[in-house]
């Protein structure tokens, strides 16, 4: 109880100090489900509460103006307390660094970050604790992607120069921090990027376990063109590991075109030396309320044992009235060797009762009906604060 009182007092003090009122959100859901495959049925109760303190200093940076200065910036940070299951008695739990929309997706560009450097506006020496040598520009379309992870990259620093669209840097990193780097293993790296006009960006990087037992070597390069409605990019990654002696490389070409509002087309081609494989895929997607639909066709491994990957999906939302929506969706894929895969989903949602969402849904777990799995039917009532 004392801990809880101290916690609540802390929240009140934080709110007062930053002129920000903590936000409480909560929900409770009663559901009844029927698993059509196992025949099991039953009720489920879930409760969730979250207290968020959204700092008004959302993105904060401390900079200088002349000479050299230490610069530090914190972006997209918020503080959140949550109790995932109020009935367990486990009490409130604290979350770690998080992003402002709460989805914890780093690629969204909103993940919380702290960066620090000593700089004069062009030259900079990083103080941030992590300098990664991981490369993933040419991710595979299907399988066989080259995972480039230099062994010695636990922590380190970079010296960089940035001006007039050009950015270059060198990095040094250790396999562990100074308390655990027992063999004094280090890696060195370099990177560069240059923006050619408004539409073209060229970039590349290399890293080498120069003072590490593995002596791994990794590299990456890319060129990207973006001028609406067309985007084109070519990227490659390579990885050399002398123990055992292996050399892997891959390359990815992506072309995208915005045909019109809601209608996008994309074509990809991928090659990997890992399995001497070429993969290719074309797709067209359309999404304008109340309709979503798409079709794709891919070819995998045409050099040795060709396989096809066609797919089609469609969804439709029908507003029965202002508070009631009916949604139906289905996705079908096939490799032409069997009966394929069909994943349907249906939901009926009603919000006519204040603070309450009533829902009846079928197959929320994406069961494949052509494989003899028929999913679940769930009826639920959710009350939210």
Query: Residue 305: which pLDDT band, with cuts at 50, 70 and 90?
Result: confident
> Max CA-CA distance within the chain?
73
Phi-psi region of 121 (alpha: psi -120 to 50; beta: other; left: phi over 0): left
Is the per-residue pLDDT at 56 higher than 60? no
Is the per-residue pLDDT at 306 higher than 90? no
Summarize pLDDT for 176-215 with one digit per residue, the tens.
888 999 999 999 999 999 999 899 999 999 999 988 888 9
Identify the pLDDT of residue 54: 61
Of 357, 362, 364, 365, nearest to 377 by C-alpha is 362
Q: End-to-end CA distance of the chain, in Å?
A: 25
Is the per-residue pLDDT at 245 higher than 90? no
Q: 381 vs 42, 77, 291, 322, 352, CA distance in Å?
A: 14, 33, 26, 18, 12
CA–CA separation, 344 and 373 (whole Å): 11
Q: What is the DSSP letter of 198?
A: T
Residue 129 has a CB neighbour count (10 Å cut-off) of 12
CA–CA separation, 385 and 380 (whole Å): 17
Identify the pLDDT of residue 129: 64
Q: What is the percentage of the chain residues whose pLDDT exceeds 70?
A: 82
CA–CA separation, 369 and 301 (whole Å): 27
Query: Residue 128: which pLDDT band, with cuts at 50, 70 and 90?
Result: confident
The alpha carbon dihedral of 104, 5, 355, 35 has a sign of positive
CA–CA separation, 72 and 62 (whole Å): 5
Residue 330 has a CB neighbour count (10 Å cut-off) of 16
Q: What is the DSSP string of 96-124?
A: -S--TTS---GGGT-S-EEEEEEESSSEE
Q: Are strands 155-163 and 356-362 parallel, antiparallel or unpaired?
A: unpaired
Beta bridge partners of 238: 219, 249
pLDDT-wise least confident of 56-65, 99-108, 137-146, 248-257: 99-108
Q: What is the mean pLDDT of the chain?
A: 84
Identify the pLDDT of residue 85: 54
Beta bridge partners of 71: 117
Give the mean model confidence (pLDDT) for residues 50-79.
74
Of 206, 176, 180, 201, nearest to 191 by C-alpha is 206
If one compares 51 and 98, the residue with the highest pLDDT of the two is: 51
Summarize pLDDT for 17-35 with one digit per residue, the tens.
555 577 788 999 999 999 9
Give the mean model confidence (pLDDT) for residues 47-51.
82
Strand, helix or coil for residue 34: strand
Identify the pLDDT of residue 349: 98
249 token code pair: 């490389």
CA–CA separation, 116 and 61 (whole Å): 9
Give the mean model confidence (pLDDT) for residues 161-172.
94
Query: Residue 4: which pLDDT band, with cuts at 50, 70 and 90?
Result: very low
Summarize pLDDT for 365-375 with one digit per residue, the tens.
999 999 999 99
Is the per-residue pLDDT at 135 higher than 90? no
Identify the pLDDT of residue 3: 47
Strand, helix or coil for residue 18: coil
pLDDT-wise least confident of 150-154, 336-340, 354-358: 336-340
Residue 151 has a CB neighbour count (10 Å cut-off) of 19
CA–CA separation, 196 and 377 (whole Å): 54
Residue 251 has a CB neighbour count (10 Å cut-off) of 20
CA–CA separation, 36 and 135 (whole Å): 44
Identify the pLDDT of residue 6: 47
Q: Are strands 263-272 and 277-288 parallel, antiparallel or unpaired?
A: antiparallel
pLDDT-wise least confident of 105-114, 241-250, 307-316: 105-114
Q: Are strands 291-300 and 376-384 parallel, antiparallel or unpaired?
A: unpaired
Inter-residue contact 327 to 314 (CB < 8 Å): no
Residues 6+ apart with CB under 8 A from 7: 81, 92
Considering 61-65, 177-181, 207-211, 254-258, the range whose residues carry the highest mean pLDDT is 254-258
Strand, helix or coil for residue 58: coil
CA–CA separation, 134 and 286 (whole Å): 34
């Amino acid at each position: 109880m004392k801990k809880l009182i101290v916690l609540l007092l802390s929240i009140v003090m934080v709110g007062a100090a930053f002129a920000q009122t903590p936000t409480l959100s909560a929900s409770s859901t009663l559901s009844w489900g029927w698993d059509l495959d196992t025949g099991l049925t039953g009720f489920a109760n879930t409760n969730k509460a979250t207290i968020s303190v959204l700092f008004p200093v959302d993105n904060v940076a401390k900079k200088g103006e002349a000479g050299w200065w230490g610069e530090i910036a914190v972006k997209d940070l918020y503080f959140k307390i949550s109790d995932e299951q109020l009935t367990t008695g486990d009490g409130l739990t604290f979350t770690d660094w998080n992003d402002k929309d709460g989805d914890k997706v780093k690629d969204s560009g909103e993940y919380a970050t702290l960066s620090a450097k000593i700089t004069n506006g062009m030259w900079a020496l990083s103080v941030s604790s992590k300098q990664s040598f991981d490369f993933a520009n040419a991710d595979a379309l299907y399988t066989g992607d080259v995972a480039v992870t230099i062994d010695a990259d636990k922590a380190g620093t970079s010296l960089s120069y940035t001006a007039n669209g050009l950015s270059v840097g060198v990095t040094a990193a250790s396999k562990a921090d100074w308390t655990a780097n027992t063999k004094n293993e280090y890696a060195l790296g370099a990177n560069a990027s240059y923006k050619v006009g408004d539409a073209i960006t060229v970039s590349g990087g290399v890293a080498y376990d120069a003072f590490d037992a593995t002596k791994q070597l990794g590299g990456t390069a890319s060129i990207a063109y973006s001028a609406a409605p067309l985007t084109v990019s070519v990227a490659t990654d390579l990885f050399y590991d002398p123990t055992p002696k292996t050399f892997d490389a891959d390359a990815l070409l992506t072309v995208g075109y915005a045909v019109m509002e809601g209608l996008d087309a994309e074509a990809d081609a991928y090659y990997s030396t890992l399995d001497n494989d070429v993969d290719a895929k074309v797709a067209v997607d359309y999404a304008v309320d109340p309709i979503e639909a798409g079709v794709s066709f891919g070819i995998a491994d045409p050099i040795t044992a060709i396989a096809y990957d066609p797919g089609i999906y469609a969804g439709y939302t029908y507003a029965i009235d202002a508070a009631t929506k009916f949604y139906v969706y289905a996705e079908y894929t096939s490799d032409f060797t069997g009966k394929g895969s069909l994943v349907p989903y249906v939901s009926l949602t009603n919000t006519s009762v204040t603070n309450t969402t009533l829902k009846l849904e079928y197959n929320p777990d994406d069961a494949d009906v052509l494989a003899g799995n028929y999913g679940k039917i769930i009826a639920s009532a959710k009350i939210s604060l």
